[in-house]
Amino acid sequence: KAGVTQTPRYLIKTRGQQVTLSCSPISGHRSVSWYQQTPGQGLQFLFEYFSETQRNKGNFPGRFSGRQFSNSRSEMNVSTLELGDSALYLCASSLGWDSYEQYFGPGTRLTVT
Amino acid sequence: AQSVTQPDIHITVSEGASLELRCNYSYGATPYLFWYVQSPGQGLQLLLKYFSGDTLVQGIKGFEAEFKRSQSSFNLRKPSVHWSDAAEYFCAVGVADGATNKLIFGTGTLLAVQP
């Protein structure tokens, strides 16, 4: 079974721009979570989607948003990029909203200049 | 509040030596506990998990962890470290949060392996 895939793997953007990251979960997994990883803050939960609905959201500004499609693929969007948004963005999939066991993709490394 | 503490930021061990990485959690309910490993520039790989039952759990790559409720700990161990084990290790606790469940991660322990 293929693992979680994320595209693109690397991205360089300029302050003020917006960016969209994509995540394809493991086949059969219906829940997708997003995390931001930075050296200073560690791994922080962004949000989780299940059945195209956002079920939970972390403490991030409204510039961070996401969505999930009927095939469980998910995208996250960051608008009006700031330097502090530079991070590794990790996507994780799990079977359902009530599943704790998450499997992570390789991440998208976003650099904001 | 729920939290996970990994007191060792950086550990160096010699190849072939034993390893123990510490993890303490704070959570009022029955914890679901995980250890993940992250190689440079990569995502997180699940090493092992504890949900219930036997408090000593076996994982991949020869790792094991022991859940000790009285100490709120879930330490990761390996009897003989290989150079390929050099990576960052994260402990996590699964918590029920509103409409869903999520993972709360510790700050990680960076493991270096000396030849």
CA angle A15, A21, A22 (to 5 degrees): 175
Check pLDDT > 90 for residue A97.
no
Of the given ranges (B19-28, B39-48, B99-108), which has the lowest mean pLDDT?
B99-108
Q: Which residues, 6+ apart, have CB-to-CB distance to B98 below 8 Å?
A: A55, A56
pLDDT tens readout for residues A61-79? 999 999 999 999 999 999 9
Chain B residues with CB under 8 Å of A101 CB are 34, 46, 49
Amino acid at B94: G
B39 — contact with chain A (CB < 8 Å)? Answer: no
Q: How confident is the model over A84-98, as a mean pLDDT? A: 91
CA angle B87, A29, B36 (to 5 degrees): 15
Chain B residues with CB under 8 Å of A106 CB are 42-43
